[in-house]
Amino acid sequence: MSVRNSSVKKDLVAQWTFQERDGKSTFEKVQNVCDPVHYVFHDAAFQPNRSIKRRKGIQGNALWFDGFSTYIKRDKKAFHLPTGAMTISVWVAPHTFGGIEEEGITALVNQHLRKEERGFILGFRKYGTVSFQVGLTSGWVEISTEELKVQKNQWTNIAATYGAREGLLAMYVNGRQVAKKQIEKGTHLVPADEDFVIGGHNDPKMIERTFSLGMFSGLMDEVCIYGRALSSDELLEQFQAYLSVHGGQIPEIKLEDIGIHRNDFTLDEHRPQYHLTAPGHWMNEPHAPLYYEGKYHLFYQHNPQGPYWGNIHWGHWVSDDLIHWKDMPVALSPEKESVDPDGTWSGCAHYDEEGVPVLFFTAGNNRFLPNQMIGLAKSTVKSDGDLELRKWVKHPEPVLLQPEGFDLDDDGFRDPFVWKEGNTWYQLVGSGINGRGGTALLFESENLLEWFYRGPLYVSDYSKHPHLGRVWELPILLSLGTDSKGNEKYIFIISPIGDEADVEVFYWIGQWDRENGAFIPDVEEPQLFDLGDFHFTGPSAMIDPKTGRLILFTIAQGERPIEYEYASGWAHNGGLPVELYLADDDRLKFRPIAEVEALRKRKLLDVENVTIAEVNQSLKGISGDMLEIQVMFQPQEEGSAGLYMRQSKDRAEETVLYYDYRARECFVDRTKTTLDRKEKTRGIQGGATGLKKGEPLKLRVFLDKSMVEA
């Protein structure tokens, strides 16, 4: 759009309209300059280069800012503002406000250095309050929208003005003045000797010298800077002119026009394709599995701002088969007025008295100690009929606080797990008892809002098992059905944390004593699920109402250095869903869910009763990085058998999965998995499998780019 009012147009200092279809720069119309757009994939490390996205804007195209790598920069020597007056006008649709502390600023447009009280910055505070700050000859001054907040995923026009002659700072939202501040007349802007930046921060807080906080995430369009303070009438006229092509209404934004696009990462050489992944950026454990009206739902810890830890939201997938997942809008976000201003952490899903889905979550609130409490959110399906459960409404108060007077750890009250028996709901919350180690606290309720504390479900002997840590996270208690003697058995699953903790997933099998609110393990020694080291973590589970199976979900922790996660634009992925069951010998076993077979495409090789030499000859013409492999080795007394995977032609790189017959242990050798010395992928991991002497070795291996499960 061209600026309509000629008297306003002549005062333009700079204007970016983002009308390019592609490319690594954007054209600034007043000075006829092409400004470079920084974007990590312009010079990609692990996929082909690609340009930053242009998406549907308020007028033609808008520029999409990914929240961690996108910004426009002009050298400080090439951009100078008048010091006596200015107006900044910009159309924005933020996707998230995260990536900053509460006192920080997400920068829209800035050329400032706060510690020297120079320059200016226009941006957002943590929850969407707009802030305009300037360094004047009289000092640093801020004006903000106070209680008025910009909404995520919606277009908003923001304008800020400063005039030395009038002695006034003013803020406008959608053409309406929402704040003003009188200052001493004649005080001028003190220029900052910094680069001019759009979408990034001049002086950011950094995460490990890699991620710059205070970067904008979302859509931006029509950035205009004027050399004088425009009047209220002029700004309203400009606002209305932009909307003339939309019938006078601010247009709605579709998710695909503002969200992260999963397809942007399909060519990444390391990113798993059939394992659970966020559409992009950072994820941690999948949690809160739920089956509702023929659909499976699964949520996950997610940072929509970038591929780094922090700013925790609940991502959301929906599926027909537990294998093919559709990305949904973010389900839960931290909110200033809610129970979770400092993070919406892991939890579970269930149903209320009317069968409406509800989410229990760990609400982060730094105003309390511990800074964790349990929140509740309810689906709006009864009012909007949306069976994909896109919208959730949080209960205004926490439904559960850490009980006082029981010497509980002051940094451990999280990860609720809820189930119902008869008319009673039960809830476990991960915690710890000072000096005694981790535990899971048990609560009961008749209405999901009022909970009675029963006590710790189970406390292990910390002196015998210090590796079980100070606090237990992500507790799970579910029925495994009956054993060979007809006794009902339960599995109790925990994840330890703390200085001495072995951060893996442990379990016990035993009895659930409802009357006394206790779990009684058959064997005191905790058992491990996985022989690897910190790869099978972050458990959540459900009894599938459709099939009756006990299905477990996990996260596979990434091992790349943080600069590689920046270069990739994503971090972490889930494991395959697995079914847990008691075998005929009453041992716990697990297997990939049967639905994984739907992933199978063309069969590449099928041979039997051949020697290893013969099968290797058959394998010479076969390669791939997304494979399912099933192989059975005949028993032998000694030696080893296994598979080489992701092997380069010169064998400089390879991963070896093998079984040692004499030790009766299975190992993965990753000493040559990568030649990149920055990677932490090293060493040999493994242990006993319980394979009996004389049994054939059966391996089922899933290879998915950089992910291997056996």
In eight-state DSSP terms, residue 594 is G
At 461-499, the pLDDT tens digits run: 999 999 999 999 999 999 999 999 999 999 999 999 998
CB of 381 closer than 8 Å to CB of 369: no
In a domain, 29, yes or no: no
In a domain, 36, yes or no: no
CB 681 within 8 A of CB 670: yes
- 177 SS3 class: strand
**SS3 readout for 357-419:** EEEEEEEECCCCCCCEEEEEEEECHHHHCCCCCCCEEECCCCCECCCCCCCECCCCCEEEEEE
| pLDDT tens per residue, range 624-680 | 999 999 999 999 999 999 999 999 999 999 999 999 999 999 999 999 999 998 887
Q: Which residues contact 656 (CB under 8 A, 6 or more apart)?
A: 642, 643, 644, 645, 667, 668, 669, 672
4 pLDDT exceeds 70? no
Q: Is 256 exposed, middle or buried (0-12, 13-18, 19+ CB in 10 A)?
A: exposed
Distance CA 224, CA 8 (A): 11
Residue 548 located in a structural domain: yes
Secondary structure class of 305 (helix, strand, coil): coil
Report whether pLDDT(117) > 70. yes
Q: How many domains, the chain?
A: 3
Q: Evaluate if residue 442 carries a pLDDT over 80.
A: yes
In this predicted structure, the answer to whether residue 237 has a pLDDT above a threshold of 50 is yes
Which whole-number Å values give the CA distances from 469 to 21, 347, 461, 499, 520, in the listed order? 54, 20, 11, 7, 20
What's residue 660's pLDDT?
95
CB-neighbour burial class of residue 294 (10 A; exposed 0-12, middle 13-18, buried 19+): exposed
Q: Are 225 and 12 in contact (CB under 8 A)?
A: yes
Structure tokens at 200: 């990034």
Q: Is 338 found in the same domain as 233?
A: no
User: Same structural domain for residues 360 and 318?
Assistant: yes
pLDDT of residue 692: 87
Distance CA 59, CA 54 (A): 12
**CA 419 to each of CA 47, 335, 348, 622: distance values in angstroms, whole numbers, following the listed order:** 44, 27, 9, 47
CATH code assigned at 692: 2.60.120.560
- 129 lies in the same domain as 147: yes
User: How does residue 614 score in pLDDT terms, banded at 50, 70 and 90?
Assistant: very high
Task: Decide which of 575, 597, 619 is a domain's last residue.
Answer: 597
At residue 2 the predicted structure's pLDDT band, cuts being 50, 70 and 90, is very low
Q: Residue 195: inside a domain, yes or no? A: yes
- Express each pLDDT in 338-392 by its tens digit: 999 999 999 999 999 999 999 999 999 999 988 999 999 999 999 999 999 999 9
Q: Write a three-state SS string for 11-39.
A: CEEEEECCCCCCCCEEEECCCCEEEEEEC
Helix (H, G, I), strand (E, B) or coil at 74: strand
Mean pLDDT score across all residues of the chain = 95
The answer on 502 and 440 residing in a single domain is yes
Q: Is residue 113 domain-shared with residue 204, that is, in the same domain?
A: yes
240-258 residue pLDDT tens: 999 999 999 999 999 999 9
List, in sequence order, the alpha helices (H) in 215-332: 232-243, 255-258
Residue 407 in this model has a pLDDT that exceeds 60: yes
Q: For 102-123, what is the mean pLDDT?
A: 94
**pLDDT mean over 506-530:** 97
Q: Please spell the DSSP secondary structure of 454-509, one letter per residue.
A: EEEEEE--TTT-GGG-SEEEEEEEEEEEE-TTS-EEEEEEEEEESTT---S-EEEE
| 405 and 474 belong to one structural domain | yes
* pLDDT greater than 90 at residue 231: yes
C-alpha distances (whole Å) from 207 to each of 159, 309, 542 are 31, 10, 36
Q: How many of the other CB atoms lie within 10 Å of CB of 110?
A: 27
The dihedrals phi and psi of 20, each to the nearest 5 degrees, come to: -65, 150
Distance CA 41, CA 495 (A): 36
Q: Does some domain include residue 653? A: yes
Q: CA 541 to CA 544: how far, in whole Å?
A: 9
Give residue 562's domain range: 289-597
Question: Could you say which of 202, 232, 252 is where a domain stops?
Answer: 252
- On the question of pLDDT at 234 being above 90, the answer is yes
Identity (one letter) of the amino acid at 268?
Answer: D
Q: Is 168 exposed, middle or buried (0-12, 13-18, 19+ CB in 10 A)?
A: middle
Indicate whether 244 and 324 sit together in one domain.
Answer: no
Q: What is the CATH number of the domain that holds 214?
A: 2.60.120.200
Quick one: 445 and 369 in the same domain?
A: yes
Q: Let me know whether 529 and 644 are in one domain.
A: no
Q: In whole angstroms, what is the distance from residue 430 CA to residue 471 CA?
A: 7
pLDDT 10s digits, 300-348: 999 999 999 999 999 999 999 999 999 999 999 999 989 999 999 999 9
Please confirm whether the linkage preceding 398 is cis (ω < 30° from 0): no
Question: Which percentage of the chain shows pLDDT scores above 70?
Answer: 99
| Among the ranges given (392-396, 449-453, 555-559, 583-587), the one the predictor scored with the smallest mean pLDDT | 555-559
User: Which one of 597, 623, 642 terminates a domain?
Assistant: 597
pLDDT digits (tens, 9 = 90+) for 541-577: 999 999 999 999 999 988 899 999 999 999 999 999 9
| 584 and 622 within one domain | no
- Tokens 């006394």: give the residue: 516
CB-CB contact of 323 with 596 (8 Å)? yes
Q: Give buried/exposed letters for 418-434 (b at 16+ CB in 10 A, else e).
A: bbeeeeebbbbbbbbbe
In a domain, 570, yes or no: yes
Do 605 and 586 belong to one domain? no
pTM score over 0.85: yes
- Asked if residue 58 is part of any domain, the answer here is no
Q: Is the pLDDT of residue 1 over 60?
A: no
Res 406: pLDDT: 96
Same-domain check for residues 578 and 621 = no
Cβ atoms 44, 567 nearer than 8 A: yes
Tell whether 280 is covered by a domain: no
Question: Would you say residue 7 has pLDDT above 80?
Answer: no
pLDDT band at residue 6 using 50, 70 and 90 as cut-offs: low
DSSP 615-676: HHHHHTT---SEEEEEEEEPP-SSSEEEEEES--TTSSS-EEEEEETTTTEEEEE-TTS-S-
Task: Please report the pLDDT score of residue 693 as a whole number.
Answer: 87
Give the integer Cα–Cα distance in Å for 486 and 489.
9
Question: CATH number of the domain that 448 lies in?
Answer: 2.115.10.20
State CA 570 to chain mean position distance. Answer: 9
Helix (H) or strand (E) holding 347: strand 344-351
